[in-house]
């Protein structure tokens, strides 16, 4: 199904809502069946778009959902739940021109998990906006979002994250690349300590 239908931009809802208000106003003003037909058509159209949007999941929506679930797993300090959304291998940017490839098992055994437990770090993600999405159209989508790690004393570190999700043989999108940057300068690499 086309992404336009399963993940319509907000402007589609705004335009259809405006059409609904205008046709509803005309139907109330004229108060006859002929004026009611455009209102019913506009209502059914917005209902159809809403239902298709809620039933289907675009690659962007699936990637954002998986990134959110990974943050919940990191917050719960559960490496197995986190790794469930990671491909067999993961490429992590560790410096300006440096990457490191790790396996799912290496990620689960990383010192990162002990650091989260030891310091009782709260992990959260937000701002999955459309402006930070690149859909390559071949089963690969890259999303950007903000994340933070917060200590119990409310000392926190924010980062901007770009992750790449690729459709796997089982049909699910799984993370294949991870890059973290300074939250206000999205070109300055900012590696997460002990990750992986």
Can you give the pLDDT at residue 5?
Answer: 66
Question: Could you read off the pLDDT of 3-51 as tens digits, one per residue?
Answer: 666 777 788 889 999 999 999 999 899 888 888 899 999 999 999 888 8
Tokens of 150: 């917060």
pLDDT for 109 equals 92
* pLDDT value of position 51: 87
The pTM of the full predicted model, rounded to 2 decimals, is 0.78
For position 116, what pLDDT does the model report? 93
Tokens of 35: 């004026």
Contact, 69 vs 46, CB < 8 A? Answer: no
C-alpha triplet 124, 128, 164: angle, nearest 5° = 95
Q: How many other C-beta atoms can be found within 10 angstroms of the C-beta atom of residue 152? A: 9
CA distance 66 to 191: 21
C-alpha dihedral (87, 2, 10, 182), degrees to nearest 10: 30
Which stretches of the chain drop beneath a pLDDT of 50?
none
**Angle (nearest 5°) at CA 69 between 169 and 124:** 140
Looking at the domain 59-181, which fold is it? Nuclear Transport Factor 2; Chain: A, (3.10.450)
Q: How many residues does the chain have?
A: 196
Other beta carbons within 10 angstroms of residue 104's beta carbon come to: 19
For 160-188, the DSSP string reads EEEEEEEE-TTS-EEEEEEEEE-SS-TTS
Angstrom distance (rounded) from CA 165 to CA 107 = 16
Please choose, from the candidates 134, 139, 121, the residue with its C-alpha nearest in 3D space to the C-alpha of residue 179. 134
pLDDT at 2: 62
The confidence score (pLDDT) of residue 95 equals: 82
Q: What is the pLDDT of residue 8?
A: 77
| pLDDT value of position 89 | 95
């Amino acid at each position: 199904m086309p992404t336009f239908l399963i993940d319509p931009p907000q402007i589609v809802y705004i335009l259809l809502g405006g059409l609904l208000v205008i046709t509803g106003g005309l139907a109330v003003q004229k108060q006859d069946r002929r004026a009611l037909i455009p209102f019913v058509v506009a209502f059914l159209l917005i209902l159809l778009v809403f239902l298709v949007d809620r039933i289907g999941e675009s690659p962007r929506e699936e990637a954002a959902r998986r990134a959110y679930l990974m943050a919940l797993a990191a917050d719960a300090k559960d490496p197995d739940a986190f790794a469930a959304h990671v491909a067999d291998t993961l490429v992590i940017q560790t410096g300006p021109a440096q990457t490191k490839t790790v396996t799912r098992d290496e990620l689960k055994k990383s010192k990162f998990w002990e650091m989260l437990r030891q310091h009782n770090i709260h992990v959260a993600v937000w701002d999955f906006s459309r402006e930070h999405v690149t859909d390559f159209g071949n089963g690969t989508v890259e999303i950007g979002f903000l994340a933070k790690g917060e200590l119990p004393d409310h000392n926190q570190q924010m980062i901007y994250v770009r992750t790449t999700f690729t459709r796997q043989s089982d049909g699910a999108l799984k993370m294949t690349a991870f890059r973290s940057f300074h939250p206000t300068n999205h070109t300055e690499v900012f590696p997460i300590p002990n990750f992986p």
